[in-house]
């Protein structure tokens, strides 16, 4: 069944988009991530312009992270204090990101920047995760104990604050900076940033695993809601019809993904996720290097009278 997407200005097959939403939802449920880094590229590959894809995926991620955040809230696995400090940075970062997005779009370099950010971020994070997963897998094979956690330079920073539920005593500076960075790249790339945020919080900020996913989901939820709003107000690029189909597919797929994820071991899961992220990054890199089919593009700047 064909459906016309009003903002993307493109007819799409409704079942194809639903299936894409479900597939990404499955993966995101399995790994406990938002899945924006998969959804945005998929939409771009089916012909939706990167700008519309980024703006519409923001609301899709908001929906899936809200259902996730709700269940973590019930299990008291969210640290409200940590979440609010992260949000201070997150909201600022999102506003900066949407502003940069608008500027790049006017310059005609938005698509390039989206692609470049994907290449850089995904190949880096993907290979880090993959190698980390490999090392962990080797360790368990050899039966070695994982290295003990030690304090790092971050714990020497001033402005310390006690986060009760996470049982950590930490400076707010790195927390706010992490929020800004995640909000910024999220708004430009159409990702929730969970797949970067969670490792940063675990390895750098030493947030315990009991509260890390729930708290990161709150950040994703608020920044993505804010990004949706800002993209709608400034660039008018949010396709609500597309977003709704993605949401319905996404939240359904996530439930089955979560069940499948419980059957796989943590190290293998990280290895798989790293591989997945890496391959999306490489796909973008190839796209940039090969000669495009058409060197020319047209953009309409609106009907003048």
Residue 47 binding other proteins, by CB under 8 A:
no
> Could you say which of 232, 264, 269, 282 contacts other proteins (CB under 8 A)?
232
Interface with other proteins, residue 263, by CB under 8 A: no
Which residues lie across from 288 on neighbouring strands? none
Single out the residue of 72, 41, 91, 52 nearest to residue 209, CA to CA: 72
| First-to-last C-alpha distance (Å) of the chain | 35
Please state, as a whole number, how many other Cβ atoms lie within 10 Å of the Cβ of residue 170.
21
Bridge partners, residue 2, by sequence: 13
Instruction: Determine which residue in the list 14, 173, 244, 275 makes contact with other proteins, applying CB under 8 A.
Output: 244
Using CB under 8 A as the binding rule, the residues of this chain from 153 to 192 that contact other proteins are none
**Which among 255, 271, 162, 179 is positioned nearest to 222, based on CA atoms?**
179
Task: Work out how close the CB of 301 gets to other proteins at its nearest, in angstroms, rounded to a whole number.
Answer: 4
φ, ψ for residue 12, nearest 5 deg: -130, 160
Distance between CA 62 and CA 66 in Å, rounded? 6
Looking at residues 6 to 25 of the shown chain, list those that interact with other proteins (rule: CB under 8 A). Answer: 6-7, 9, 11
User: According to CB under 8 A, which one of 20, 43, 53, 63 is a site residue for other proteins?
Assistant: 63
> For residues 176 and 172, what is the distance between their CA atoms, to the nearest angstrom?
6
User: Residue 153 or 296: which CB sits closer to other proteins?
Assistant: 296
**Cα Rg for the chain, rounded, in angstroms?**
19
Task: Return d(Cα 70, Cα 81) in angstroms, integer.
Answer: 17
For the bound state, the minimum distance from the C-beta of residue 89 to other proteins, rounded and expressed in Å, comes to 20
| Span 105-164, contacts to other proteins by CB under 8 A | 108-109, 111-112, 116
The count of residues interacting with other proteins (CB under 8 A) is: 61
Interaction of residue 303 with other proteins, rule CB under 8 A: yes
Q: Give the binding site for other proteins (CB under 8 A).
A: 2-7, 9, 11, 59-60, 62-68, 70-71, 108-109, 111-112, 116, 224-225, 228-234, 236, 238, 240-241, 243-244, 247-248, 251-252, 254-255, 288-289, 291-292, 294-305
């Amino acid at each position: 069944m064909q459906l016309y997407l009003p903002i993307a200005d493109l007819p799409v097959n409704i079942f194809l988009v639903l299936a894409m939403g479900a597939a990404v939802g499955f993966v995101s449920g399995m790994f406990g991530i938002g899945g924006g880094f998969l959804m945005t590229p998929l939409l771009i590959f089916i012909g939706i312009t990167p700008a519309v894809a980024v703006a519409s995926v923001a609301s899709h991620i908001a929906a899936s992270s809200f259902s996730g955040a709700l269940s973590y809230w019930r299990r008291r696995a969210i640290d409200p204090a940590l979440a609010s400090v992260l949000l201070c940075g997150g909201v600022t970062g999102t506003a900066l990101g949407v502003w940069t997005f608008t500027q790049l779009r006017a310059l005609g370099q938005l698509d390039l920047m989206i692609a470049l950010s994907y290449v850089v971020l995904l190949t880096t994070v993907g290979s880090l995760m993959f190698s980390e997963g490999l090392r962990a897998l080797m360790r368990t094979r050899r039966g070695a104990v994982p290295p003990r956690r030690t304090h790092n330079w971050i714990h020497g920073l001033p402005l310390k604050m006690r986060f009760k539920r996470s049982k950590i005593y930490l400076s707010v500076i790195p927390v706010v900076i992490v929020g800004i960075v995640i909000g910024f790249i999220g708004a430009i790339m159409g990702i929730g940033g969970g797949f970067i945020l969670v490792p940063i919080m675990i390895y750098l900020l030493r947030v315990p695993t009991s509260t890390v996913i729930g708290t990161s989901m709150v950040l994703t939820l608020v920044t993505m809601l804010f990004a949706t709003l800002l993209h709608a107000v400034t660039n008018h690029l949010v396709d609500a019809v597309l977003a709704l189909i993605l949401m319905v597919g996404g939240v359904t797929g996530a439930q089955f993904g979560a069940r499948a994820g419980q059957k796989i071991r943590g190290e293998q899961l990280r290895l798989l996720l790293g591989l997945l992220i890496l391959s999306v990054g490489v796909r973008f890199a190839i796209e940039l290097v090969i000669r495009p089919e058409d060197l020319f593009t047209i953009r309409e700047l609106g009907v003048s009278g």
